[in-house]
Amino acid sequence: MSAKHTPEKVETGFSSGDASTGESWKLTLPCTAQEARILEEDIGLLAELDPLPVLMTSEPDPARPEQWQLDAYFENKPDDVTIALITALIPSAAGVTPKIEKVEQADWVTLSQAGLEPVRAGRFFVHTSTNADNIPVNAKPFLIEAGLAFGTGQHETTTGCLMMLDRLKREGNLYRDLIDVGTGTGLLAFAAMHLWPRAFATASDIDPISIDVTRENAEINDIPLGTREGRLALVVAEGMQHRTIQRRAPYDLIIANILAGPLIEMAPSIAAVLEEGGTLILAGLLDSQAHRVATAYRRQGLRLAGRIDRGEWPTLMLRKRRRFG
């Protein structure tokens, strides 16, 4: 992560400040790395605000990886109710008075995307439209704009998953039935389909907005949608019990970049749809949570077979043991 005040995530809300007042407002609170990660998944009751604020989480000082910062941008000065909604999202900041200041009118979504550096992970190059002219030779590019869904490639968990997928391909692994659980923007599903273009692919998410974003990103990146070989099926689903997910099982590759708690809770259902000898990629967990997550899957007959660490965010690769006799 950069030592600069680089945005890790943007929740789209408005585009150019309040046209009538010519001003915008910023609210700043300290947060933890885990709280920043959770915000990328769920903005709670803020989703009901109209217009949505723009949220950006960042790591101001790499020497202090647990001390992050939340900046929320508004068209107008936030009222007491809005301030309370923001502070409720950051339990570690209880008792801290938010810093609220007037800022120059600006297109915060555009500015935030300009601050998002492109990501090179193995053969993949993930970028926004501001970097579309700087694609390296021999790289597979994906255009993923910052927006309402998590998974632009900027976060270490997404980057780690891309690197793990690249490693699996280089090692000669072949997959024919894959699923990206909690797909967010669709990026990891797109990357897996590029590596194994003849696979039956599925992308699921509990959030319908994420599936809408994935559908849009698929069109932008020329990813064919559908249920046939070489196409991506999209499913709005909570967990693995959805009829379509069950019907397309078993999977020989499952990618789940979520959070430690849900990963542990879903261990039995994820393991149940992974075929024997199949590969599972897990991310969205902190280094301090890796043992508990790996243990939950070990109890389901999986073994830890690989790991990539990006700062305090590990990506785990597990294999389901084959049964004999």
* Residue 257 annotated as lining a ligand binding site: yes
Longest Cα–Cα distance in the chain: 74
| Token representation of residue 173 | 């692994």
Nearest of 154, 124, 117 to residue 140 by alpha carbon: 124
d(CA 302, CA 304): 7
Report DSSP letters for 31-60, one per residue.
E-HHHHHHHHH--GGGGGSSSPPEEEEE-S
Q: What are phi and psi of 190, to 5 degrees?
A: -60, -45
239 is in an annotated binding site: no
Angle subtended at Cα 236 by Cα 233 and Cα 237, rounded to the nearest 5 degrees: 110
Q: Residue 202 pairs with which residues in a beta bridge? A: 179, 233
44 is in an annotated binding site: no
* CA distance linking residue 257 with residue 189, whole number of Å: 11
- Beta-bridged to residue 204, according to DSSP, are 181, 235
Please give the helix or strand (H or E) that residue 232 lies within, else none.
Answer: strand 232-236
Number of alpha helices (DSSP H) and beta strands (DSSP E) in the chain:
10, 14
Q: Is 182 annotated as a binding residue?
A: yes
Question: Distance between CA 217 and CA 195 in Å, rounded?
Answer: 18
List, in sequence order, the alpha helices (H) in the chain: 33-41, 80-88, 108-115, 156-170, 187-195, 208-220, 243-248, 260-265, 267-273, 290-298
User: Do the bridges between strand 274-283 and strand 313-320 make them parallel or antiparallel, or are there none, so unpaired?
Assistant: antiparallel
Using an 8 Å Cβ cutoff, are 83 and 27 in contact? yes
Type and span of the H or E element at 27:
strand 23-31
Q: Would you list which residues are annotated within the binding site?
A: 158, 182, 205, 257
Q: Would you list which residues are annotated within the binding site for S-adenosyl-L-methionine?
A: 158, 182, 205, 257
